[in-house]
Amino acid sequence: LLQVAALERQIFDFLGYQWAPILANFLHIMAVILGIFGTIQYRSRYLMMYAVWLVLWVGWNAFIICFYLEVGRLSQDRDFIMTFNTSLHRSWWMENGPGCLVTPVLNSNLAPEDHHVITVSGCLLDYQYIEVVSSATQIFLALFGFVYACYVSKVFLEEEDSFDFIGGFDSYGYQAPQKTSHLQLQPLYT
């Protein structure tokens, strides 16, 4: 479920040319793959790394929520953090949200020559709230994944500590077969 949600988010960020979220989503997808690998291969270190990544992922998604709700000094009109200040692109949902009607503004002096000005109206849900819901979903899934990773990692570490090699600390009555006398080496005295 985490992987599907991350891939969905990656697709829509690619469509909106949101480079910072694309990079973060890529790192998240790699971390999820390592977390799955750690679970399958009984590697608690991969799961611990995944849990640490999820803490960072929650922080990133909290930042995205604050950015789209313009908490504090963050402003979508002024800050182009999501595109690394390389373009004027916005979220894909801005123009393609549910029920949105996009109307181009002709002969506008507000935009540079290579851009066009549009007005968006009639949206059932503004793009900011779609992005906030997406980030909130990621936070919920990350919290679930964090608890899972910590629990499974703890179980793997307990199994490593309790593993007993054959003939180890507690042999449970197992005795190695004794060699017969004609096969045993005898010391040679000269």
Per-residue pLDDT reduced to its tens digit, 17-72:
778 888 888 899 899 898 888 888 888 888 899 999 999 999 999 998 988 888 87
Q: What is the pLDDT of residue 54?
A: 94
Average pLDDT of the chain is 76
Give 166-187 pLDDT, tens digit per residue: 555 554 555 555 656 556 666 7
Q: What is the pLDDT of residue 177?
A: 58
Percent of the chain with pLDDT over 90: 14
Give 7-28 pLDDT, tens digit per residue: 888 887 777 777 888 888 889 9
| 105 and 125 Cβ atoms separated by less than 8 Å | no
Extended beta strands in the chain, E state? 101-105, 117-121
Report how far apart, in Å, the C-alpha atoms of 152 and of each of 5, 79, 92, 125 are: 22, 41, 37, 39
User: Which amino acid appears at position 153 of this protein?
Assistant: S
Q: Is the overall model pTM greater than 0.85, yes or no?
A: no
Q: What is the pLDDT of residue 119?
A: 65
- Per-residue pLDDT band at 81 (split at 50, 70, 90): low
